[in-house]
Amino acid sequence: MRTLYSGRFEVELKEAIRRLNDSFPFDRRLWQEDIDGSIAHATMLGETEIIRSEDSLKIVEALKSLKADLASGRAQVPDSEDIHTAIEQMLKASIGEVAGKLHTARSRNDQVATDLRLHVRAAIDHIQSQIKAFQKTITDVAEREIDTVMPGYTHLQRAQPVRLSHHLLAYFWMLERDRERLQDARKRVNQLPLGSGALAGTGFNINRRRVAELLGFEGVCPNSLDAVSDRDFALEFLSSLSIIAVHLSRLGEEIVLWNSREFGFIDLDDSVATGSSMMPQKKNPDVAELARGKAGRVFGHLMALLTTVKGLPLSYNKDMQEDKEGLFDAIDTISLLLPALSETLSTAKFQRERMEQACHGDFSTATDLADALVRQGVPFREAHSIVAKLVRSCLESGRVLEDLTDDELKAINPAVTWPERNALASVEQRDSQGGSSKQRVQEQLAEARKRL
Ligand code: ARG
């Protein structure tokens, strides 16, 4: 039924058109935000005497009890064109014709923009707290594994040894930037569109600041046309979620690699892994694979919304109804992944010996030998070339750098000494700020903990 605008039409909407047009199947998710927005709007309408204060009171009370009934499951939202229509219908069923006063000085265009901003704001707060919990897990594991040494990679070739905690903390800082990005985006999300009407404002003497205050918005959108047609806040949020998805995907890929027999660096807990229906021996790193696999859909939602809005003239266009499903799915996807990865990491067993062994005989201390030569005054370029030749001759004769005798070292440079040739000594050498020595990683951990 055309509940909101039946006066204009003589016949019902065709069924196939209705199914295309309705957003209720997905925007019903906004029911709380829609009620909250209406409570604030009705309150303001009463305070400004645009509607009688007893009518305002009646509407607000009814909306509040509607909210409680929906929250407890005592009531169900009826199928409708969209959530805004549905709530208004419910209100009318509860208090009769006076419900019709709620939509004074309001359009669904400023209403839906308000609902969506409230929803994104809540999602930002939720995801930020999930990120924080994950960061806490990372710092706990990093602290526990402070003495675990592993190969660091470039080009996925063993490059120089690092502390496992140093490697894990890299993800802490990625997530820290994610949290900052969300916090920054939140300021622009948290502006009130309501009071913009359909597009041009309203002739009623409304008080937008009051509505903003009631809904916890920091400010009021300054241009009514922009307010109803702007979806930048959703784009920014989706792009922040996409970057989070990149980070989770990269961590997922590392866990997949580390969990392979070839690496053998990590043993995932049974509670976070699944098996194979055919191969009895399999224990698969599904969470990590899904972290990698689900990134695509989040990027896709960002691309879809960019494409939806890019050619739209001002102001509201029905195309914009397409802003919701992808946005909701991106929120759900990231909200599922963050705790799942956190659980995966906190329950994983790192194979410390295997990691340390992997640093032996792999030439990953070659830079240390070059640095030892530099300390004797050899220019780095020359030292690099000397050690590179040594590596080549070792490879040809099947030896490793650590096996070089002191005489062989003296033959390259009589003054050079390289007493401690193991991975731990190599890691301790990298004592520069932000480096992998124990003291520097502890410093980093302390800084990380301060952020939480
Ligand atoms: N369901 C619509 C949406 O999500 C609400 C706004 C409808 N506005 C309109 N003028 N038809 O965008």
Tell me, in angstroms, the distance from the centre of ligand 1 to residue 356's CA.
Answer: 60
81 lines ligand 1 (CB under 6 A): no
Are the C-beta atoms of residues 389 and 369 closer than 8 Å to each other? no
Nearest to 57 by CA among 49, 67, 68, 46: 46
Helix (H, G, I), strand (E, B) or coil at 364: coil
DSSP state, residue 321: G
Q: Which two tokens stand for residue 76?
A: 């169900």
Nearest to 215 by CA among 118, 123, 83: 118
Tell me, in angstroms, the distance from the centre of ligand 1 to residue 268's CA.
Answer: 47
- E-assigned strands of 265-419? 266-267, 349-350
82 lines ligand 1 (CB under 6 A): yes
Distance CA 434, CA 441 (A): 7
Strand partners, 152: 160
Tell me, in angstroms, the distance from the centre of ligand 1 to residue 108's CA.
Answer: 6
* Amino acid identity, position 51: I
Are the C-beta atoms of residues 355 and 164 closer than 8 Å to each other? yes
pLDDT by residue, tens only, the chain of 452 residues? 666 777 888 788 899 999 999 999 999 999 999 999 999 999 999 999 999 999 999 999 999 999 999 999 999 999 999 999 999 999 999 999 999 999 999 999 999 999 999 999 999 999 999 999 999 999 999 999 999 999 999 999 999 999 999 999 999 999 999 999 999 999 999 999 999 999 999 999 999 999 999 999 999 999 999 999 999 999 999 999 999 999 999 999 999 999 999 999 999 999 888 877 777 777 899 999 999 999 999 999 999 999 999 999 999 999 999 999 999 999 999 999 999 999 999 999 999 999 999 998 888 888 888 988 898 899 999 999 988 988 898 889 888 888 888 888 888 888 888 878 888 989 999 999 999 999 999 999 999 999 99
Ligand 1 probe mutation, 9, 23, 312, 317, most atoms within 8 A of CB: 23
Tell me, in angstroms, the distance from the centre of ligand 1 to residue 317's CA.
Answer: 8
Q: Which two tokens stand for residue 206?
A: 């409304």
Ligand 1 atom index nearest CA of 198 = 10
Active-site amino acid positions: 155, 276
Q: Which two tokens stand for residue 45?
A: 């309408």
Q: What is the pLDDT of residue 451?
A: 97
Q: What is the pLDDT of residue 1?
A: 63
HSE-up (13 A, CA, CB side) for residue 188: 12
HEC per residue, 113-151: HHHHHHHHHHHHHHHHHHHHHHHHHHHHHHHHCCCCEEE
Tell me, in angstroms, the distance from the centre of ligand 1 to residue 318's CA.
Answer: 6
23 lines ligand 1 (CB under 6 A): yes
115 lines ligand 1 (CB under 6 A): no
Ligand 1 probe mutation, 82, 231, 327, most atoms within 8 A of CB: 82
Tell me, in angstroms, the distance from the centre of ligand 1 to residue 168's CA.
Answer: 45
Q: What pLDDT digit, counting tens, does each position of 159-188 carry?
A: 999 999 999 999 999 999 999 999 999 999
315 lines ligand 1 (CB under 6 A): no
Ligand 1 atom index nearest CA of 83 = 1
DSSP state, residue 398: T
The protein residue whose alpha carbon is closest to atom 2 in ligand 1 is: 321
Q: What is the pLDDT of residue 417?
A: 81
Ligand 1 probe mutation, 194, 312, 318, 320, most atoms within 8 A of CB: 318
27 lines ligand 1 (CB under 6 A): yes
Are the C-beta atoms of residues 38 and 45 closer than 8 Å to each other? no
Tell me, in angstroms, the distance from the centre of ligand 1 to residue 314's CA.
Answer: 14
112 lines ligand 1 (CB under 6 A): yes
Tell me the residue length of the chain. 452
Which position has the token pair 């999300």? 189
Tell me, in angstroms, the distance from the centre of ligand 1 to residue 411's CA.
Answer: 81
Helix (H, G, I), strand (E, B) or coil at 9: coil
The protein residue whose alpha carbon is closest to atom 3 in ligand 1 is: 321
Ligand 1 probe mutation, 17, 119, 321, 328, most atoms within 8 A of CB: 321
Residues 6+ apart with CB under 8 A from 159: 151, 152, 153, 364
164 lines ligand 1 (CB under 6 A): no
Identify the burial level of 213 via C-beta atoms within 10 angstroms of its C-beta, where 0-12 means exposed, 13-18 middle and 19 or more buried: middle
Are the C-beta atoms of residues 245 and 294 closer than 8 Å to each other? yes
The protein residue whose alpha carbon is closest to atom 4 in ligand 1 is: 321
Distance CA 18, CA 307 (A): 24
pTM: 0.94
The protein residue whose alpha carbon is closest to atom 11 in ligand 1 is: 318
The protein residue whose alpha carbon is closest to atom 12 in ligand 1 is: 321
